Amino acid sequence: MKMYLISDNVDTCTGMRLAGIEGAVVHEREELKSELDRVLADKEVAVIILTEKFGREFPDLINDVRLSRSLPLLIEIPDRHGTTRDENFITSYVNEAVGVKL
């Protein structure tokens, strides 16, 4: 099984290539949709890594893939500028998912 990166940033893509992860750099909605469709057709790809920017700007595309497929797993990572999430986002996420305040 392979991992694949879809990034809006050349530096992120270069860093992942150094780690052995292939990827593509896209900037527009249609480019992202086209690249997602191409990667989703590849049954060898088990994990798609996306930069957080895509989750913020195009949540409908990302959520559609997440809700309609069990594989590949979509993971959002911060780019070289850092994350836009608050410092307790993991605790907040667990609280919402479990329904218990930790």
Per-residue pLDDT, 88 = 67
- Distance of alpha carbon 17 from alpha carbon 12, whole angstroms: 9
Residue 81 has pLDDT above 90, yes or no: no
Question: How is 47-72 classified by DSSP, letter by letter?
Answer: EEEEEHHHHHH-HHHHHHHHHH-SSS
The structure tokens listed for 22 are: 């292939």
Residue 6 has pLDDT above 90, yes or no: yes
Question: Domain with 42 in it: what CATH number?
Answer: 3.40.50.10580
Q: What is the pLDDT of residues 26-60, one digit of tens each?
A: 999 999 999 999 999 999 999 999 988 888 889 89
Q: What's the total number of domains in the chain?
A: 1
Domain interval for residue 16: 2-98
Strands 73-77 and 45-51: what pairing?
parallel
